[in-house]
């Protein structure tokens, strides 16, 4: 069957495949193309979308690509970097400035078909350094953004040339935080480009099953099965493709699991009938020995990934199946955040993208049936192939487990830039009746598709939820060197904080397991577990006002694809319960709620 199709030009931004996913959900085929692809490869598409980019600057160097695309007689729409490139190509001006992170209000101008059926003001999501400040002949401004109560405006957030059929959005309509972004994309794909809907998930399943059969041939697959959504769906899909007799599942207790996690996983696999060749190994001693003394996040992730392979190879040899291919439930965020495409920046190395795995991939020894999908598509696929609802809708849990939620430290304070940062964050918070303190630690984040490793800010004081989000957004806009805001749930506002030396130990893991268990049970008890997409509990070795050794941070978020996220509020009664329970745990110095969007903060702290 021939499908109408849209080309998504991947400049390496975090969301290129997310754009393609959103188009596919309109039942229109979308294909990823590279910026240097030959012009003739684009001639069969009914429209082109230019993605964002982490490394190319629309007003600096390195923005060389096949600009002959603009000579094609098809509609072209650019997002973020793509928006800036369209403006620049047609005579507009782009400058390095006007940075924005997170939500903003788009004020529409005129009646562009891109915004058909939408309100005069739309909530959109920004993540950029460069900005369009003027447009060339034939172009017009069709929208600008404002930020909260400050009313600060960002001009040329949406531009158009109806005669040329060229359009640009400074914001990201593909992320779920742009409230009606799906409608904007649909207006372009179906309305302006005229694409007919004919692409379905059923068709995707058929093609993936056939692709797995072609890759595997007459070999067998040994899948590392964590029991999470991704590995469970991957196991089911592999079973459909090659049969249960040729599929072996290995569940590894790495000592970094949640409370009673391995027992629950094995029970779930047995109940679902995936236990024909189900193997289990307690490798907690092996992992903890490998992690002894490790502090840096990337080092820990690499150790965990390498140790998984060591355990896999050892178990495969002992069971006589060392020749099997390695199966993984890798999904696209794992690849893109590890810098897995030509221009993508490394946000963090996922355990299934460490060098030894990359080498096995190059050798054709790894099977990843979900590698092009996001979590929401994995869940949709899982439902279509008959996986029980409870397994499909579990909260995502990272492959490295609590290893990336147990922060470690040398005890050295990181106060670079604090002379400027501290008064700046205090001034922003004061405008909202709050106090603020930059913390002498760092966590990983993502800004304009680039990795950031910057400071969190601790907010203290009473405030409505919307106010907290607005304060955080203003912090990220006004103050350099921060990528997170957390809200103090303790009884008093701290005045001092310092990191303490700490590594991965059983005792710290047990404390984190208990705190995490209290949070998960609280979500279920208050009936909001299903409403929250993920809720990491993080342990930071930080003394506050001379008390305790561990600071606990709870990060409830709303998301669908993990590429963006918004913080989720918790009921006041649950906050009170967690305050009483977690602050009573031995050695806990404080408790806070993470109120950061992604970007600029990643979902996990490491």
Q: Phi/psi of residue 253, each to 5°?
A: -85, 105
Instruction: Return the residue matching tokens 């110095």.
Output: 589
* 402 to 301, 399, 505: CA distances (angstroms): 11, 9, 11
Please pick, among 17, 128, 172, 350, the residue that the annotation labels catalytic: 172
User: Is 535 marked active-site?
Assistant: no
Joined tokens for residue 231: 């590995």
Instruction: Return the residue matching tokens 């390498």.
Output: 306
The alpha carbon dihedral of 274, 279, 284, 288 has a sign of negative
**Peptide bond before residue 599 is cis, with ω within 30 degrees of 0:** yes
The alpha carbon dihedral of 170, 171, 175, 181 has a sign of negative
Distance CA 323, CA 166 (A): 53
DSSP state of 541: -
Please pick, among 80, 193, 408, 485, the residue that the annotation labels catalytic: 80
User: Is 172 marked active-site?
Assistant: yes
**Peptide bond before residue 29 is cis, with ω within 30 degrees of 0:** no
* 138 to 91, 163, 360: CA distances (angstroms): 10, 7, 52
Distance CA 50, CA 42 (A): 13
* 27 to 173, 175, 199: CA distances (angstroms): 18, 18, 4
User: Is 210 marked active-site?
Assistant: no
Neighbours of 15 (CB within 10 A): 26
Of the candidates 466, 408, 460, 378, which has an alpha carbon nearest to the alpha carbon of residue 148? Answer: 466
Please pick, among 100, 122, 174, 606, the residue that the annotation labels catalytic: 174
Q: What is the DSSP string of 68-83?
A: GGGGSSS-EEEETHHH
Joined tokens for residue 5: 């199709």
β-pair partners for 102: 126
* Cα 3 to the center of its chain, rounded Å: 30
Joined tokens for residue 207: 């093609």
Joined tokens for residue 7: 């080309």
- The catalytic site residues sit at 80, 172, 174
């Amino acid at each position: 069957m021939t499908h109408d199709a849209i080309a998504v030009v991947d400049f390496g931004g975090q969301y290129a495949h997310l754009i393609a996913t959103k188009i596919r959900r309109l039942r229109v085929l979308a294909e990823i193309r590279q910026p240097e692809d030959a012009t003739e490869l684009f001639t069969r598409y009914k429209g082109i979308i230019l993605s964002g980019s982490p490394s190319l600057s629309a007003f600096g160097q390195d923005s060389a690509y096949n600009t002959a695309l603009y000579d094609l007689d098809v509609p072209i729409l650019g997002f973020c970097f793509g928006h800036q490139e369209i403006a620049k190509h047609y005579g507009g001006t782009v400058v390095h400035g006007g940075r924005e992170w997170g939500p903003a209000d788009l004020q529409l101008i005129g009646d562009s078909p891109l915004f058909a059926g939408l309100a005069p003001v739309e909530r959109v999501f920004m993540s950029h350094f460069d900005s369009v400040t003027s447009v060339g002949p034939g172009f017009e401004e069709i929208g600008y953004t404002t930020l909260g109560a400050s009313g600060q405006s960002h001009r040329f957030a949406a531009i158009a040339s109806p005669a040329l059929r060229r359009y640009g959005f400074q914001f990201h309509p593909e992320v779920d935080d742009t409230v009606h972004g799906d409608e904007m994309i649909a207006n372009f794909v179906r309305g302006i480009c005229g694409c007919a809907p004919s692409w379905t998930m059923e068709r995707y399943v058929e093609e993936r099953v056939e692709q797995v059969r072609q890759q595997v041939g007459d070999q067998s697959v040994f899948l590392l099965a964590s029991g999470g959504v991704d590995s469970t769906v991957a196991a089911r899909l592999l079973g459909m493709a090659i049969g249960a007799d040729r599929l072996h599942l290995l569940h590894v207790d790495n000592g970094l699991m949640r409370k009673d996690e391995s027992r629950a996983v094995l029970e779930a696999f047995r109940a679902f009938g995936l236990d024909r060749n189900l193997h289990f190994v307690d490798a907690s001693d092996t992992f903890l020995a490998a992690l002894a003394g490790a502090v840096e996040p990337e080092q820990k992730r690499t150790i965990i990934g390498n140790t998984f392979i060591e355990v896999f190879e050892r178990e495969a040899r002992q069971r006589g199946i060392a020749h099997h291919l390695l199966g993984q439930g890798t999904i696209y965020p794992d690849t893109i955040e590890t810098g897995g495409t030509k221009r993508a920046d490394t946000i963090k190395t996922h355990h299934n993208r460490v060098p030894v795995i990359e080498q096995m991939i190059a050798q054709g020894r790894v099977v990843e049936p979900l590698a092009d999908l996001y979590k929401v598509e994995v869940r949709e696929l899982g439902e279509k192939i008959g996986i029980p609802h409870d397994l499909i809708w579990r909260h995502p849990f990272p492959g490295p487990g609590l290893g990336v939620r147990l922060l470690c430290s040398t005890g050295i304070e990181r106060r670079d830039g604090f002379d400027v940062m501290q008064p700046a964050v205090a001034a922003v918070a004061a405008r909202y009746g709050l106090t603020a303190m930059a913390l002498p630690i760092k966590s990983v984040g993502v800004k304009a598709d680039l990795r950031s490793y910057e400071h969190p800010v601790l907010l203290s004081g009473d405030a409505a939820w919307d106010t907290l989000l607005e304060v955080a957004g203003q912090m990220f806009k006004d103050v350099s060197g921060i990528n997170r805001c957390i809200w103090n749930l303790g009884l008093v506002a701290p005045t001092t904080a310092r990191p303490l030396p700490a590594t991965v130990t059983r005792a710290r893991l047990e404390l984190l397991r208990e705190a995490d268990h209290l949070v998960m049970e609280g979500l279920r008890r208050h009936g909001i577990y299903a409403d929250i997409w993920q809720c990491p509990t993080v342990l930071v070795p930080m003394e506050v006002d001379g008390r305790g050794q561990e600071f606990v941070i709870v990060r409830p978020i709303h998301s669908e694809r993990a590429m963006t996220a918004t913080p989720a509020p918790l009921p006041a009664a649950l906050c009170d319960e967690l305050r009483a329970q977690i602050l009573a745990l031995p050695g806990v110095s404080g408790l806070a709620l993470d109120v950061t969007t992604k970007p600029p903060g990643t979902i996990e702290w490491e």
